[in-house]
Amino acid sequence: MGEVLFFVAGIGAVAGAIGVVAVRNPFYSVLALVSHLLCLAALFLLLRAEFVAAAQVVVYAGAVMVLYVFVVAYVGGRDEPLGPRAGSGLRAVSAIFGAALFLELCVATLGSGLQLIDSDGTPAPDSFGSPEEIGSLLLTKFLLPFEVASFLLLIAAVGAVVLARRRGGLTAVEEQARYSAMDILRPAYTGTMAEGVGGRHTLPEATVTNTPQEAEDAS
């Protein structure tokens, strides 16, 4: 039973990984990665890592991939030619590099002479990998990494907002569309999120209203 599950999930994970690299459309790459992550979660379950498998499905395949799908839809996932533009020489070099890396990793892990590597692992208690065990470890032995990770998430969230905000503010048309009675009553710069990112300044029309396709057509 375990062997069948391993081969199904392992082949699914490798096929998903190949799909991420080999598909032209970025949208399908994201979908391939989702299937890859689900198969990997099954592998984690075979290794008795229940909490990590659940976190993988909920956080990775659920939340992070939705973020990817949004950005692909926003940027416009157009089909792109595979491989480097410089020619087939670089592609051959990267294939050779990949094969060498795989050989090296296999030698490093399988040839390491670890005694337990051909076994099913040390016998573990039934509660191994359960959320209870992981939670108590995170709040006792690994409290500092836990807190540092939460701080890192905060920094990343703030950094993403700063990076991706609209620098020039709204156009005049958008500014009028969001005008309401509250704007007369309240003092300036105390209300909307648009003001918070500099919405009172307007860019010249040409740079704001053009979509990327129009800009490319013009140039």
Among positions 11-40, residues that touch other proteins (CB under 8 A) are: 13-14, 17-18, 20-21, 26, 29-30, 33, 36-37, 40
SS3 of 84, please?
coil
Which CB atom, from 126 or from 182, has the smaller least distance to other proteins?
Answer: 126
- Is residue 129 within the footprint of other proteins (CB under 8 A)? yes
Please tell me what DSSP assigns to residue 58.
I
Residue carrying the six token digits 């009675």: 181
- Is residue 139 within the footprint of other proteins (CB under 8 A)? no
Q: Can you tell me which of 87, 89, 113, 123 binds other proteins, judged by CB under 8 A?
A: 123
- Is residue 175 within the footprint of other proteins (CB under 8 A)? no
Angstrom distance (rounded) from CA 168 to CA 203: 6
Site track 77-116 with other proteins (rule: CB under 8 A), x = hit: x--xxxxxxx----x--xx-xxx-xx--xx--xx---x-x
DSSP string of 143-201, one letter each residue: HHHHHHHHHHHHHHHHHHHHHHS-SS---HHHHHHT--THHHHSPTTSS-HHHHTTTTS
- Is residue 51 within the footprint of other proteins (CB under 8 A)? yes
Least CB distance to other proteins at residue 74 (A) = 7
Least CB distance to other proteins at residue 169 (A) = 12
Tell me the residue length of the chain: 219
- Are the C-beta atoms of 79 and 28 separated by less than 8 Å? no
- Is residue 203 within the footprint of other proteins (CB under 8 A)? no
Angstrom distance (rounded) from CA 148 to CA 77: 35
Least CB distance to other proteins at residue 178 (A) = 20
SS3 of 50, please?
helix
Q: Can you tell me which of 89, 113, 120, 140 binds other proteins, judged by CB under 8 A?
A: 120
Please tell me what DSSP assigns to residue 119.
S
Which CB atom, from 108 or from 184, has the smaller least distance to other proteins?
Answer: 108
Least CB distance to other proteins at residue 136 (A) = 9
